[in-house]
């Protein structure tokens, strides 16, 4: 494999520096995965069809005419537009696949085989390839891989929402996000195997399996005990109090996970009888007795506004938080020194900071999200500079 720094002098000096990722993905799960790899120094080349990534057109909102949906998951990449129906452009795609360390795709199962870009064909010219396939419901299913379908089919919607209300999807395409993280983890695991053996391999992730894994204790309740969880609104099935409670002016989320925290909560709320009540003595008792405990807590919390309670409870060591809007969440992160906004490339395009912090090789953001086909010349030059097949 040629060193991408020879053709990419501005490549980020991150832990994945020198790694070439051929990104044949679109929308969210794949682009989110490849953006995180780019933040860590990988050279990511984004391949789009003639119509471009669908999310380029998913607006409002927009920034300078570009959909923020697209901008939010595509920084750090080089972009080339290729029409696989044209032999000369298909040849470029094949050459890129032959020169990549990692190829990530989320076409419908079998969709790349007819272009000679399926795993078996790519492996013939690139035996060390780590080939990551992201599907909706596995390699044998033709069902379209939309996040909301996975939320429905996985049971996520069945446990989300008010107990008396309809099933509810999460406020973000969370299954896509989790699947993107799994894809990145799978790619790095396969690369570690290649370092040890010289062998590439195929990595397969799907939305449904990722959702079932991400349901953790809820899916585990069924797998381990045959229990089918139900919607509990904002309540937790095993912990109480654990969720939002009304105060004098708004909701306050409590997350009381043990008996010591509950005793401190009762002391701050000035309800000492609750702390010594046998019905609420242990975590399991509070969970079983939540209908009796809830009104006691609500009466006490109604005496003060949420911000005052938050200050008092945090000082006492009781986990709690006000429910913030997203703009307030960014402000809170800044107050905590987390610097949530970074700026990418010469254009200084703002975006959300990579969530991993590394002391020696931190993430970097040398490239703004590319316009469609913006790096065609760069990509072709990079491929020309690679060793011959």
Give the residue numbers annotated as catalytic, written as ranges. 176
Pairing of strands 20-24, 102-105: parallel
| E strand residue ranges, the chain | 20-24, 43-48, 62-63, 66-67, 77-81, 102-105, 130-135, 201-206, 242-246, 251-255, 320-322, 341-344, 349-352
Helix, strand, or coil (residue 387): coil
Q: How many CB atoms lie within 10 A of CB 274?
A: 19
Helix, strand, or coil (residue 318): coil
φ/ψ of 158, rounded to 5, equals: -70, -20
φ/ψ of 251, rounded to 5, equals: -85, 145
What Å distances lie between residue 20 and 59, 80, 364, CA to CA? 31, 15, 16
253-261: Cβ within 8 A, 24+ apart: 253/320, 253/321, 253/322, 253/323, 254/297, 254/313, 254/318, 254/319, 254/320, 255/319, 255/320, 255/321, 256/286, 256/318, 256/319, 257/283, 257/319, 258/283, 259/283, 261/317, 261/318, 261/319
What Å distances lie between residue 389 and 101, 219, 361, CA to CA? 15, 47, 33
Is the CB of residue 137 less than 8 Å from the CB of residue 56?
no
C-alpha 233/C-alpha 218 separation (Å) is 14
Burial 334-348 (b: 16+ CB within 10 A, else e): eeeeeeeebebeeee
Q: At what angle are helices 290-301 and 259-269 packed, to 10 degrees?
A: 40
In which element (H, E) is residue 88 found? Answer: helix 87-99
């Amino acid at each position: 494999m040629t060193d991408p720094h020879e053709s990419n002098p501005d490549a980020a000096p991150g832990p994945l520096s020198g790694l070439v990722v051929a990104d044949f993905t679109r929308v969210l799960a794949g682009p989110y995965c490849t953006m995180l790899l780019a933040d860590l120094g990988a050279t990511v080349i984004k391949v789009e069809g003639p119509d471009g990534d669908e999310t380029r057109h998913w607006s409002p909102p927009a920034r300078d005419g570009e959909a923020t949906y697209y901008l939010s998951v595509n920084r750090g990449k080089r972009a080339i537009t290729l029409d696989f129906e044209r032999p000369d452009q298909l040849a470029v795609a094949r050459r890129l696949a032959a020169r990549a360390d990692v190829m990530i795709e989320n076409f419908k199962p079998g969709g790349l085989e007819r272009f000679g870009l399926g795993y078996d064909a790519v492996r013939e010219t690139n035996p060390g390839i780590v080939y990551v396939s992201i599907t909706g419901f596995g390699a044998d299913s033709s069902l379209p891989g939309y996040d909301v379908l996975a939320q429905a089919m996985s049971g996520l919607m069945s446990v989300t929402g008010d107990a008396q209300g309809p099933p509810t999807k999460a406020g973000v395409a969370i299954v896509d996000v989790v699947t993107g993280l799994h894809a990145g983890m799978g790619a790095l695991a396969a690369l570690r195997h290649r370092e040890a053996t010289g062998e590439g391999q195929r990595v397969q992730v799907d939305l449904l399996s990722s959702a079932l894994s991400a349901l953790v204790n809820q899916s585990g309740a069924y797998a381990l005990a045959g229990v089918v969880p139900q919607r509990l609104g904002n309540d937790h099935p095993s912990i109480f109090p654990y969720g939002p409670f009304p105060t004098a002016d708004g909701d306050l989320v409590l997350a009381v996970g043990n008996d010591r925290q509950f005793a401190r909560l009762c002391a701050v709320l000035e309800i000492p009888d609750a702390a010594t009540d046998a019905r609420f003595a242990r975590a399991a008792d509070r969970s079983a007795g939540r209908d009796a405990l809830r009104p006691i807590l609500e009466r006490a919390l109604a005496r003060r506004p949420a911000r005052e309670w938050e200050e008092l409870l945090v000082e006492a060591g009781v986990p709690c938080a006000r429910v913030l809007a997203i703009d307030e969440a960014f402000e809170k992160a800044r107050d905590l020194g987390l610097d949530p906004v970074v700026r990418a490339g010469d254009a200084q395009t703002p975006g959300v900071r990579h969530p991993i912090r590394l002391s020696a090789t931190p993430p970097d953001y040398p490239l703004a999200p590319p316009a469609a086909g913006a790096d065609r010349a760069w990509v072709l030059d990079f491929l020309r500079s690679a060793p011959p097949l």
